[in-house]
Amino acid sequence: MVPIIPLELSQTLALRRAVLRGGDPDADVVVDTDRAPGCRHLGIVVDDEVVATLTAFPSSPPHHAQNPGAQQLRFMAVSPEHQGSGLGRALLLAMIDELWRAGATLIWANARDSALGFYQRLGFSVLAGSAFTSASTNLPHHVVELERSDG
């Protein structure tokens, strides 16, 4: 398996734009939380090209009371030629492990409906009643979450 490494924000932008915004050169792929304290960007680089990326930052989901241990996942992207290869799974598992080690108690995301099975296979729950259409993509989403279980 290829190594999973920390990335700079600038290294994530081309893949975010290509995969998550259909290559739209005018799409906004940077958000305030990209530079927030505690934000981290992980990725996979193959032949000097970022082929998978994922961002996480401290944030409580809208349906929970303020939770200082909550981390939101955002901008999960795998290049089309590497989708289905296991890189996305490896990257998400690495991020989960890193977040648990850093003290997270809850990991959540606004997941595209087309990716719900992916998250569920990794232990995430889809929150009932959390359906919405993303303003930035016009695609259906649900909130997914994974609670830490120390057992």
Tens of pLDDT, residues 17-65 = 999 999 999 988 999 999 999 999 999 999 999 999 999 999 988 776 6
Percent of the chain having pLDDT more than 90? Answer: 73
Mean pLDDT of the chain: 91
> Given this structure, which CATH class describes domain 4-108?
alpha beta
Please give the residue that has the higher pLDDT: either 91 or 141: 91
CA quadruple 150, 115, 51, 82: dihedral sign: positive
Q: Where are the domains of the chain?
A: 4-108
How far apart, in whole angstroms, are the C-alpha atoms of residue 116 and residue 110? Answer: 10
* Range from 19-23, 104-108, 116-120, 128-132 carrying the lowest mean pLDDT: 128-132
Please give the residue that has the higher pLDDT: either 72 or 127: 72
Q: What pLDDT does 14 receive? A: 96
Please give the residue that has the higher pLDDT: either 64 or 87: 87
Within its chain, how far is the Cα of 85 from the centroid?
A: 17
Q: 100 and 146 in contact (C-beta within 8 Å)?
A: no
